[in-house]
Chains A and B, each alone.
Chain A
Amino acid sequence: MTPSPVAPIVEMLGITVDFPGMRALDDVDFRLFPGEVHALMGENGAGKSTLIGVLTGTRRPVAGMLLVDGDAREFSGVAASRAAGIATVFQEAQLSPNLSVAENVMLGRERRARFGIDWRRTRADAARALVRLGLDELDPRTPLTQLSPAQKQLVALARSVVDEPRVLVLDEPTASLDQAEVATLMRVIRGLRDGGTAILFVSHFLEQAFAISDRMTVLRGGTKVGEQATRDLERADLISQMLGKDIEGLRALGSERKAHHYQTEGEPVLRADGIGRRGVLAPTDVEVHRGEIVSPSAALRRRISRSSESRRTDGIIAGLTARENILLSLQAVRGWTRPVSRAEQAGLVDACIDALHLDPDELDRPVELLSGGTQQKVMLARALIVRPHVLILDEPTRGIDVSAKLEIQRRVSRLAAEGTAVVFISSELEEVVRLSDRILVLKDREKIGELSNGPGVTVDTVVEMIAADHA
């Protein structure tokens, strides 16, 4: 499919969007042609949602132009973008459970008769929309509550296409669907595309994007890093575009493991069988042994087993000093009735200062005034002070400078050498390959393999394993 001789429906030129304190999109060009599925790719925070926001009228760019059929437009809101023929698929949550399929599809667009709503015509139009999507098996009179999540998703889609939009935005449309349901949705999407609709498709599932899209635009850190025909794109190239390392650079970054740490001692200290969550992670077994650093890693890793609740309770507590933040965990383990003596406190905190190269003068300042790197070290110190058998570190080096990063990495290595089992979660593959003994490779929310880290492993190895997994 070469759309070039055809004029684009939507053209975005030099789109720049600012959020307080940061630039969310920087000078991004984007084109959408009739009769194509265009996948918008990028890691979390790359700017995909912001770009969709500009297209659907919920975000105002500070610079750049949005053209529809060659005319410059500025959308004041969703209604304006809808009027220009750009539709977003409602999430199933926005449907009304106590209405029928037809009522949901036609909500807000009920056909009028002289006295109130012409239900027959409304139902007929709804049925037509369903037939157009190849969903004729769905009775328009069925109450929504009787439908499966996938069927609801399709009703939401029908509601979006009832006015025959020229552009359809599908943001993570498959997140809660199983494989058969995804296949149905894909069939519907292809049908719409073949009818000339331009479809903007966003998914964390790499393989779905490869299966359905004709073209891909890749965003990274708010800028556009590539636009290419899907059939000409190598998976490994896509992944490296998304990660921001060119593939040659990746090949050079080798493991620092000179030998395999293959034979672990004794029983695993942490064992999770079949952990998973519908739509987030397929059931996965994880085992961690003494003295081992294990990294779940993937180009498209989503949060793994750590819930947002624990993230909040594990976070630093503003208003307390760094010292108090560190001692918090020990106090929690001891119980609040047995205070930690001053002498013991001093000894422990001194050990942390030593181990993590913390600046003693900073320890008595409120923790929120310290740099990101120091805050991360405070968190690590808090985790270490209770001498854990298992340490789960979720992005312990995100957003801190290189020297602080190296120090934390060194400390983690030492801990493992002393026998602690470490689960090290990082979106930086270099760090994973440098540090871990074992790498769990995740793709499209599923564990696809495990690597024993050693002299033959590079960042590229992980990328290639992800790329190879599509047979």
Chain B
Amino acid sequence: MANVGSDKPNIRQVATIAGVSHMTVSRVLNDYPNIKPETRRRVLEAIEELDYRPNLVARALATQRSQRIGVIVESAVAHGPTSILRAVELAARGAGYSVTPVALLEGDPLTPQDAVDSLTTQGVDAICVIAPRSSSVAALRRVAMSVPMLVIKADADPTFLTVSIDQNAGAALVVDHLVSLGHRDILHVSGPLDWLDARARERAFHTRAKSWGVRERPIVVGDWSADFAYDFAIGLKRLPDFTAIFAANDDTAIGLIHGLHERGFDVPGDLSIVGFDDVPLARHFLPPLTTVRQDFQALGSAAVEMLRAAIEKREIPQVTRIPTELVVRESTAPPREAR
């Protein structure tokens, strides 16, 4: 009815020009399998010729799909969750989906169930949850769902469809790099261990360091902040026995270097420092930071690919771990005794 007498081309005109039924046009638009390439070509040409734009709401009614993905993100102020949200949004847009984000903050009266309910009422096709902490995952287990859900979290899970950047491999790269330089006594300054990334990096560090026979020493539990790391570094009474520090993120690494510098210790002359994240500033810091690059873009694409497959009830691609890359800059060197 809306199209009667309007200038906007409609699906029936496309069908007429392509010489097919309007059902066939619809099937082409919705990427149905089993359409002859020749038919598909004719339909696409007709669409181009008429400059036809499918009406998204009408399309949603016809397919029961809204082309919208809900994203629930907790601790949305931290670097990791924010970067992941942005990456998912960009990848979704590229795939023809729009994103409706819901942020949950600590102490938020909005529960994960509220967030899921509000998104499903808005008719999202699927929900992606960015769950950085163990408590976020615990809350999800009790949530009732009516659409597919993907959880971006650091460890695999029997209950959920998950994808994440390979934290274990990243931490192992750091240990291997330091060991290959000759370090045998390495301190780990971790993030808060209720963060899944922090504990994955800590466990991987522990296992890998042990396998190399690196001296076992107590870890220092930080809070991701540069301030914490700075305070720890200026509290050192003398040049420590350990010759390298694996910081759980770049902020921690930068705080450490600042504190060590103030105590008169040289990085990497006295101590090698490695971070994790590869934040944009890492390469401009003095010394430029050796760190692990997390490919958030690849993570976003994988997440959206999996969600689309789930929505369209196709086989879900099993890319659950996105590889990391060690970026060697100038904050690491052989240990002091070795030179």
Scan residues 223-263 of chain B and give those whose CB is less than 8 A from a CB of chain A: 223, 228, 231-232, 235-238, 240
Q: Does A67 contact B (CB under 8 A)?
A: no
Asked if B141 lies at the interface with its beta carbon under 8 angstroms from chain A, I say yes
> Which of B134, B204, B217, B223 has the largest count of A CB atoms less than 10 A from its CB?
B134
A467–B137 CA distance with the chains assembled, in angstroms: 13
Residues on B with beta carbons closer than 8 Å to the beta carbon of A141: none
* A455 pairs with B228, CB closer than 8 A: yes
Q: Using A247-B135, A260-B232, A448-B206 as known contacts, say yes or no to A468 and B193 having CB atoms under 8 A apart.
A: yes
Query: Does A452 contact B219, Cβ atoms closer than 8 Å?
Result: yes
A350 to chain B minimum Cβ distance, whole angstroms, is 37
- Could you tell me if B202 and A231 are in contact, using CB atoms closer than 8 angstroms? no
* In the complex, chain A residues whose CB is within 8 Å of the CB of B158: 231
- Assess whether B221 is in contact with A461, with CB atoms less than 8 Å apart: yes
Does B57 touch A at the CB level, under 8 Å? no
Contact of A119 with B by CB under 8 A: no
Whether, in the assembled complex, B184 has its beta carbon less than 8 Å from a beta carbon of chain A, the answer is: no
Q: A455-B228, A465-B193 are in contact. Are A285 and B216 (CB under 8 A)?
A: yes
Does B267 make an interface contact (CB < 8 A)? no
Q: Which of A9-17, A99-107, A232-240, A357-365 sits within the interface? A: A232-240
**Contacting residues, chain A, for B231 (C-beta < 8 A):** 259
Question: Does A449 touch B at the CB level, under 8 Å?
Answer: yes
Other-chain contact of B222, A231, A285, A456 (Cβ < 8 Å)? A456
Cβ–Cβ contact A451 & B194, under 8 A: no
Closest A residue, CB atoms, query B205 = A449
Query: With an 8 A cutoff between CB atoms, is B330 at the interface?
Result: no
* A275 → B minimal CB distance (Å): 15
Question: With A and B bound together, what is the CA distance between A465 and B216 in angstroms?
Answer: 16
Please, what's the 1-or-0 string for B185-224, where 1 marks a CB less than 8 Å from any CB in chain A?
A: 0000000111000011011101100000000111111110
Contact between B203 and A471, CB atoms less than 8 A apart: yes
Provided the pairs A460-B194, A464-B193, A468-B203 are in contact, do residues A236 and B134 lie with their beta carbons within 8 angstroms? yes
In contact, B228 and A456 (Cβ under 8 angstroms): yes
User: Taking the complex as formed, is A454 at the interface, i.e. its CB lies under 8 A from any CB of chain B?
Assistant: yes
A450 part of interface (Cβ distance < 8 Å): yes
B61 CB within 8 Å of chain A: no
Known: A232-B159, A471-B168. A464 touches B219 (CB 8 A): no
- B236 and A263 contacting across the interface, CB-CB below 8 Å: yes
Q: Taking the complex as formed, is B144 at the interface, i.e. its CB lies under 8 A from any CB of chain A?
A: no
Q: Which of B65-123 contact A (CB under 8 A)?
A: none
User: Which among A236, A247, A451, A468 is the interface contact of B200 at CB below 8 angstroms?
Assistant: A468
* Shortest Cβ gap from B189 to chain A (Å): 9
Chain A: interface residue count, which band? Answer: 20 to 34
Residue of A whose beta carbon sits closest to that of B159? A231
Contact of B194 with A237 in the complex, beta carbons under 8 Å: no
Indicate if B155 sits at the interface (CB-CB under 8 A).
yes
Chain B residues with Cβ below 8 Å from A469 are: 203
- 1/0 contact string of B137-162 vs chain A (CB within 8 Å): 11001100000000000010011000
In the complex, how many angstroms separate the beta carbon of B89 from the nearest chain A beta carbon? 28
Partner of A461, one of B141, B193, B238: B193
Which B residues touch A457, using CB under 8 A? 221
Q: How large is the interface on B (under 10, 10 to 19, 20 to 34, 35 or more residues)?
A: 35 or more
A428-441 vs B, CB cutoff 8 Å, 1 = contact: the mask equals 00000000001100
A460 and B194 alpha carbons, distance in the complex (Å):
7
Q: Answer whether A464 and B199 are a contact pair too, CB < 8 Å, given A251-B194, A456-B192.
A: yes
Q: What are the residues of chain B within 8 A of A236 when measuring CB–CB?
A: 134, 138, 194
A452 to B142, CA, bound (A): 34
A471 to B204, alpha carbons, bound, how many Å?
9
Task: Give CA–CA (A247, B222) in the complex, Å.
Answer: 20
Q: Residues of B contacting A438 with CB < 8 Å?
A: 218
- Per-position 1/0 for B283-321, Cβ under 8 A of A: 000000000000000000000000000000000000000
Partner of A259, one of B135, B202, B206, B235: B235
A260-B235, A448-B206 given; A456·B194 CB < 8 A: no
Residue ID in chain B nearest A255 by CB atoms: B221
Known contacts A236-B134, A236-B138, A465-B199; decide if A449 and B221 are in contact (CB<8 Å): no
> Which of chain A's residues have a CB closer than 8 A to the CB of B223?
456
Set of chain B residues within 8 Å of A247, measured between Cβ atoms: 135, 138
The reply to whether A450 and B221 form a contact with Cβ atoms under 8 Å apart is no
Is the beta-carbon distance between A450 and B219 smaller than 8 angstroms?
yes
Give complex CA distance A233, B157 in Å. Answer: 11
Name, among A251, A464, A469, the residue most crowded by chain B CB atoms within 10 Å (CB to CB): A464
Name the residue of chain A whose CB is nearest to the CB of B204: A471
Chain B residues near A251 (CB-CB < 8 A): 194
The 7 closest A-B pairs by CB, nearest first: A468-B199, A450-B218, A456-B221, A464-B193, A452-B218, A234-B138, A464-B194
7 A-B contact pairs sorted by A residue (CB < 8 Å): A232-B142, A234-B134, A451-B219, A452-B220, A468-B202, A468-B203, A471-B204
Given contacts A263-B240, A448-B206, A452-B220, 12 further A-B contacts (CB under 8 A): A234-B134, A236-B138, A260-B220, A262-B240, A285-B216, A438-B218, A451-B219, A454-B220, A456-B228, A461-B221, A464-B134, A468-B155
